[in-house]
Structure 1
């Protein structure tokens, strides 16, 4: 079974010069890239790592990175 998906852009990406993040499932991993520089490469996560990251983001664990 092939569970690969097409690149999906974040709903937070505005498409008008803002930050653009894309993600997809490929070969059992989650890949993330900058849509403005896809040639720069991807960051790859196992599904367990991705689930953990999303859980932390939803809980606000990374909010302190935004504080000036």
Structure 2
């Protein structure tokens, strides 16, 4: 039996804001909408997740 993913939100998030949650596993990073978790999950390789974060952090 596969354990359920441990989802977490950014410490910058508020309970009132819509945000994403992430779950880290050895072979993938899962991302979902915190307000609609049953709507689906985006699954990325760890390398793709690092690329996403690098791109998202770049100034304007």
TM-score (norm 2): 0.78
2:9 is aligned to 9
1:20–1:34 contact (8 Å) kept in structure 2? yes
Distance 1:34 1:7 in 2: 11
Structure 2: which 5+ residue stretches go unaligned? Answer: none
TM-score (norm 1): 0.70
Shift of 1:36: 1.1
Larger-gyration structure (1/2): 1
Q: Can you list the C-alpha shifts for 1:23-44, whole angstroms capped at 9, x where unaligned? A: 0113610000011111001111
Structure 1: which 5+ residue stretches go unaligned? Answer: 64-68
Q: CA RMSD in A?
A: 2.0
Distance 1:30 1:22 in 2: 10
2:51 is aligned to 52
Q: Can you list the C-alpha shifts for 1:32-59, whole angstroms capped at 9, x where unaligned? A: 0011111001111111100001111122
